[in-house]
């Protein structure tokens, strides 16, 4: 079962991103501050790394997170920005944008992965946690929001460019996606800094 990170009684934000690997579309990230301990009911026990949940489970949990979290926000970095600054920097920027939009300034940040840059002035203390979305509740909550908001975005893009199957592959490098690129060419939503042929 996932747990809290526990840094005394600090207001702690968990951060995670979705969409580093796809060939197309923005990268999204979320930041989530959980409610106080006494306010976590049994529904929160269902939280897990978004990749370990089904699509239905992710969308069932999103309203819980949005309603019950102390504060949450989602950040986006566009394809043009990704191509300019690279995908790692874009993912970090998306997390910073999510943190910027929180209604409460966190006193501590935990980030899924092993990369981070000082955030805030003065800088807010932060820790990186490899596979943190499978260990800590706030990062898992962030992973669910980032994933579902990005999926919604890719579903909208699919309506504009249905031939690429983005409603199914969400822009990831599947054989069908490579075949569609070969047949139809690239769109304004493809990441030109990525290898787009197989």
Mean pLDDT on 94-119: 96
Alpha-carbon gap, residue 82 to 94, rounded angstroms: 10
pLDDT digits over 3-35, tens only?
Answer: 777 666 789 999 999 999 999 999 999 999 998
Confidence of residue 109 (pLDDT cuts 50, 70, 90): very high
Is the predicted pLDDT of residue 37 greater than 70, yes or no?
Answer: no
The pLDDT score that the predictor gives to residue 28 is 98
Alpha-carbon gap, residue 20 to 32, rounded angstroms: 19
Percentage of residues in the chain with pLDDT exceeding 90? 84
Please state the domain extents for the chain.
Answer: 12-184
Mean pLDDT on 151-157: 98
The pLDDT score that the predictor gives to residue 39 is 61
The pLDDT score that the predictor gives to residue 5 is 72
Confidence of residue 96 (pLDDT cuts 50, 70, 90): very high
The pLDDT score that the predictor gives to residue 8 is 65
Alpha-carbon gap, residue 25 to 188, rounded angstroms: 9
Q: Count of residues for the chain?
A: 198
pLDDT digits over 179-193, tens only?
Answer: 999 999 999 999 999
Structure tokens at 135: 């260990």
Block residue for tokens 């592959």: 169
The architecture that CATH gives domain 12-184 is 2-Layer Sandwich (3.30)
Alpha-carbon gap, residue 87 to 110, rounded angstroms: 20
Residues 6+ apart with CB under 8 A from 118: 126
Mean pLDDT on 80-108: 97
pLDDT digits over 41-75, tens only?
Answer: 677 788 887 888 999 999 999 999 999 999 999 99
136 within 8 A of 110, measured Cβ to Cβ: yes
- Give the helix ranges, DSSP H, for 3-118: 55-68, 79-85, 87-100
Block residue for tokens 């990268």: 27
The pLDDT score that the predictor gives to residue 85 is 98
Continuous segment of H or E residues that includes residue 187: none
Is the predicted pLDDT of residue 130 greater than 80, yes or no?
Answer: yes
The three-state (H, E, C) secondary structure of 127-162, written as one string? EEECCHHHCEHHHHHHHHHHHHHHHHHHHHHHHHCH
β-sheet bridge partners, residue 127: 110
Report the relative pairing of strands 71-77 and 108-112 from DSSP bridges.
unpaired
Average pLDDT of the chain, as a whole number: 93
Alpha-carbon gap, residue 2 to 133, rounded angstroms: 9
């Amino acid at each position: 079962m996932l747990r809290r990170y526990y840094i005394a009684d600090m207001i702690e934000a968990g951060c995670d991103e979705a969409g580093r690997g796809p060939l197309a579309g923005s990268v999204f990230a979320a930041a989530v501050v959980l409610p106080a301990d006494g306010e976590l009911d049994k529904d929160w026990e269902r939280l897990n790394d978004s990749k370990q949940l089904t699509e239905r489970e992710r969308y069932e949990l999103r309203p819980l997170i949005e309603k019950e979290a102390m504060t949450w926000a989602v950040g986006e970095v566009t394809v043009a920005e990704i191509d300019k600054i690279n995908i790692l920097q874009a993912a970090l920027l998306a997390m910073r944008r999510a943190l910027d939009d929180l209604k409460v300034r966190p006193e501590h940040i935990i980030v899924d992965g092993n990369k981070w840059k000082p955030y805030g002035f003065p800088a807010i203390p932060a820790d990186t946690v490899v596979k943190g979305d499978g260990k800590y509740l706030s990062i898992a909550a962030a992973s669910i929001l980032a994933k579902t908001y990005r999926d919604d975005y890719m579903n909208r893009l699919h309506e504009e460019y249905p031939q690429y199957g983005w409603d199914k592959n969400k822009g990831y490098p599947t054989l069908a996606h490579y075949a569609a690129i070969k047949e139809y060419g690239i769109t304004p939503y493809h990441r030109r800094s990525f290898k787009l042929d197989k």
